[in-house]
Amino acid sequence: MKNFIVLGDLILDRFIYGDITRISPEAPVPVLDVREVINSCGGAFNVHAHIENLQHNSTFISVVGNDFEKLRDDFFSEKTKDNIRLIVQNGRKTSLKTRIIALYNHNHQIRFDDEDSSDISAESESAIIELLKKMVNPDSFIILNDYNKGVITYNLAQKVVQLAKQANAKVFVDSKRDDVQRFNSVFLLKPNKHEFNMIKLRYNLSSEFPEECKELVKLLNLQYLVVTLGDNGIFCCNAALECFSVPSIKTRVKELSGAGDSVLAVIAVALATGSDIKRSVKIANNIAAKFVSIGPTYRADIADFNE
């Protein structure tokens, strides 16, 4: 049984759904009559939740601010408090995103971001490394889910990769950054289309997509590069520079935020349970389609995994 460790930015997601039927008399803005409020743990926590729902043990590690205590009960049930290691950094603010969504057409009206995206402190970095030293072994799958909110610093990324190499563990990465050389020699890197375009500009890769993927695999010494392409499916290239693609599944889109997290989690679990990369990507593609059609409360489950 693989030992999953998910490290990254915790983002608390609040979704406020309602009906818009009139304009405010106070200002030319729509009035939302609130019908439902959903609080969800997002960011890197999505990956942890998908893995746990697929009946595998996962430990989630992140850094929060000292405002987290008053937010905890709104976002964490007793069940989700298991296997969570949160390092509290004084003076830091926990990321909270609030989305206002109209029910009739599921249009986002506005989003409020209340967060601190600066790098975590050296003390927080050291606390994370000390936790990992006690946990990492050859059966570990370490997943770095980097929303560029300050947890996965350059120094921390380098130390995690080094620690994994010493333990013969595998590192999976999903990052919002264009500076991905901090993840050199990881097992798998999974950018989306937008992130890949930023990466190719930073490193001046070729103009043809398959060749760009091959160049990035060589540049970073990756075992696998997996690029999610939205309506164009998923593209994968391995260390031998062999590539394949999986077409997207047409579905009604309710929510895109977090779909990439489901892909990363499912690929890791599929590989851990003996699937090859092609089957793993195909399963992840199927589950991502279900995720975007249901929304942020959906977690991958065994029934979907075995379809």
- C-alpha to C-alpha distance for 18 and 21, rounded to whole angstroms: 10
In one-letter notation, the amino acid at residue 234 is: I
Helix (H, G, I), strand (E, B) or coil at 262: helix
Q: Which of 214, 217, 211, 209 is nearest to 180 (CA)?
A: 217
Hey, which residues does 107 pair with through a beta bridge?
102
Burial (CB count <10 Å: 0-12, 13-18, 19+), residue 234 = buried
Quick check: is 261 catalytic? yes
Identity at 228, one-letter amino acid code: T
261, 276, 301, 304: which one is catalytic?
261
Gap between the Cα atoms of 69 and 53, Å rounded: 25
Element holding 218 (H helix, E strand)? helix 209-220
Taking Cα atoms as reference points, which of 39, 30, 23, 43 lies closest to residue 72?
39
**Which helix (H) or strand (E) segment is 109 a member of?**
strand 107-114
Could you tell me the CA-to-CA distances from 274 to 2, 108, 140, 205, 278 in Å, in that order?
Answer: 11, 40, 15, 33, 12
Take residue 18 and report the two structure tokens written for it. 């309602």
Task: Give the active site residues.
Answer: 261
